[in-house]
């Protein structure tokens, strides 16, 4: 059964959700991050996906004190990413209590460095984040936009033993328009051994039911929860079956 994982994006100490990854178009929520994490744990969830939006802006891990507080006051396993670009950054994340770390930029720009992290910490501790738009993984290098075909990017890591990938379709992020079902089905068909973590667009429990029927490994939910379109009671059967997640 699919793993259901709450997503918490943090900017300036607040829970936020960008629209299509555009940090100038943010919805800001008043919920306290630590209280929210404790609520997730109280409802039986075992895992939290934490995006350091300040770190994304600064290109350096920033919200590690909050990560440390969440892992101190809860037993949640925290997937942490955002601004992790150096060996010191990833070491800081793990020292602050992260269970796993995910990276999109380094995985695309500096493959040797990404693999050095895998060698140091193991595939079970490092998640590939593949953020794509219309089939392309994009990043900026020396003021130029570099594009890598998504399937080429995934194939590169799949051939080297990748197990887990968080795949975000950028134009679905924060839109409540539904996940990119066709994209995830195609990835599953091409790389059946991959454990796909779906991110972006989840509207309601029906979307999660559909992803479960498709055989997806996990799904992140954020805006739909914070805006009351998805509640934790809806997720009870998945939570009960994820007790060992």
DSSP code per residue over 62-110: --HHHHHHHHHH---EEEEESS--SHHHHHHHHHTT-SEEEESHHHHH-
Cα separations in angstroms, 95 against 8, 13, 67, 159: 20, 20, 10, 30
Report, as an integer, the average pLDDT of 72-99: 97
Alpha-carbon dihedral of residues 199, 203, 204, 208, nearest 10 degrees?
A: -30
Asked if pLDDT for residue 141 goes beyond 80, the answer is no
Least confident of 83-87, 167-171, 205-209: 167-171
Q: What is the pLDDT of residue 227?
A: 93
Asked if pLDDT for residue 10 goes beyond 80, the answer is yes
Instruction: Give tens-digit pLDDT for 198-218.
Output: 999 999 999 999 999 999 999
Report, as an integer, the average pLDDT of 51-75: 96
Higher-pLDDT residue of 76 and 171 is 76
The pTM assigned to this predicted structure is 0.93
What is the CATH code of the structural domain delimited by 3-241? 3.20.20.70
Q: What is the pLDDT of residue 245?
A: 44
Q: Average pLDDT over the chain, rounded to whole?
A: 92
Q: What is the pLDDT of residue 13?
A: 95
């Amino acid at each position: 059964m699919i793993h259901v994982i709450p997503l918490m994006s943090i900017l300036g100490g607040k829970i936020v959700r960008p629209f299509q990854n555009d940090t100038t178009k943010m919805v800001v929520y008043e919920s306290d991050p630590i209280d929210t994490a404790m609520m997730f744990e109280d409802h039986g969830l075992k895992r939290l996906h934490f995006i350091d939006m300040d770190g994304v802006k600064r290109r350096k891990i920033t919200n590690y004190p909050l990560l440390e507080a969440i892992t101190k006051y809860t037993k949640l396993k925290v997937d942490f990413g955002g601004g992790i670009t150096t060996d010191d950054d990833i070491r800081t994340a793990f020292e602050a209590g992260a269970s796993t770390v995910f990276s999109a930029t380094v995985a695309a720009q500096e493959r040797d460095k990404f693999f050095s992290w895998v060698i140091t910490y193991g595939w079970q501790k490092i998640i590939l984040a593949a953020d794509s738009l219309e089939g392309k993984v994009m990043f900026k290098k020396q003021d130029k936009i570099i594009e890598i075909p998504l399937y080429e990017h995934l194939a590169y890591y799949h051939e080297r033993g990748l197990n887990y990938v968080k795949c975000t379709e950028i134009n679905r992020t924060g839109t409540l328009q539904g996940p990119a079902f066709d994209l995830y089905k195609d990835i599953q068909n091409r790389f059946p051994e991959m454990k796909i973590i779906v991110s972006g667009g989840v509207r309601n429990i029906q979307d999660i039911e559909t992803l479960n029927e498709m055989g997806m490994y996990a799904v992140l939910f954020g805006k739909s929860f914070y805006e009351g379109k998805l509640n934790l009671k809806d997720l009870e059967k998945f939570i009960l079956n994820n007790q060992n997640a």
